[in-house]
Amino acid sequence: MRVISGECKGRPLKAVPGQGTRPTTDKIKESLFNIIGPYFQGGLGLDLYGGSGGLGIEALSRGMDKIIFVDRDSKATEVIKTNLKACGYEEQSEVYKIESHRALKALKKREFTFDLVLLDPPYARQRIAEDIEKLVEYGLLNQDVQVVAEHDPSVRLPDAIGKLEKVRKESYGSTTISLYRMQDREI
């Protein structure tokens, strides 16, 4: 596992030990960022199920200003911190060990609005649609936001969630990526 492109291209990343985390493969990560970027002109991102931090770190490497990482597992948050340090992104990130629904409530209180949201939950515990509903309900999304969900192909996400509409869906073997954007977004 490594950073694919940008400032930290080629930098190796540690994986979370054990079977509980399924890292995004380099091929899928590259495809995902080619769909949504491939590079960014700043902005605030949220990696809601951080795992090893690979997706959020890729976004930082490709130009995001800051990423907030959330994971409920202490091993995962420690690996995220280690990977952020290896890439020099400690100052451009925040890492929290907390459940996703509690994290969203806390982010609402802090009045954050995100330009990029990455959702890659463990396939056995997916609450993607519910988490996206809360992101919309709590006003955590900027008008030009991109919400990216990585999920099992058997998971059927709605075509629209609040003001967000699914604008693209791509499958790569045992992984599907669904991309949501605001319906009345300026292009």
146-159, pLDDT tens digit by residue?
999 999 888 899 99
Does the pLDDT of residue 45 top 60, yes or no?
yes
Partner residues linked to 176 by β-bridges: 151, 171
Q: Would you state the torsion angle of the CA atoms of residues 21, 171, 4, 128, taken in this order, to the nearest 10 degrees?
A: -50
Q: How confident is the model at residue 18 (pLDDT cuts 50, 70, 90)?
A: confident
Domains of the chain: 26-182 (3.40.50.150)
Residue-wise pLDDT for 81-94, tens only, equals: 999 999 999 999 99
Least confident of 14-23, 41-50, 123-132: 14-23
Longest dimension (CA), the chain: 43
Residues 49 and 24 sit within 8 Å (Cβ to Cβ): no
What tokens appear for 67 in the block?
């990423």
Q: How confident is the model at residue 183 (pLDDT cuts 50, 70, 90)?
A: confident
Give the residue, 43 or 22, on which the prediction is more confident: 43
Neighbours of 182 (CB within 10 A): 19
Quick one: what percent of the chain has pLDDT higher than 90? 82
pLDDT of residue 25: 81
Does the pLDDT of residue 64 top 90, yes or no?
yes
The dihedral built from the CA positions of residue 148, 52, 94 and 83, taken in this order, carries a sign that is negative
Q: Which residue has the tokens 């003001």?
A: 163
Residue-wise pLDDT for 113-145, tens only, equals: 999 999 998 765 678 999 999 999 999 999 999
What is the average per-residue pLDDT within 96-123? 94
Q: Tell me the three state secondary structure of residue 162.
A: coil
Least confident of 22-26, 37-41, 85-89: 22-26
Q: How confident is the model at residue 187 (pLDDT cuts 50, 70, 90)?
A: very low
What is the average per-residue pLDDT within 173-180? 93
Give the residue, 183 or 87, on which the prediction is more confident: 87
What distance in Å separates the CA atoms of residue 23 and residue 15, rounded to the nearest whole number?
7
Distances from the Cα of 49 to the Cα of 41, 161, 168, angstroms: 23, 19, 21
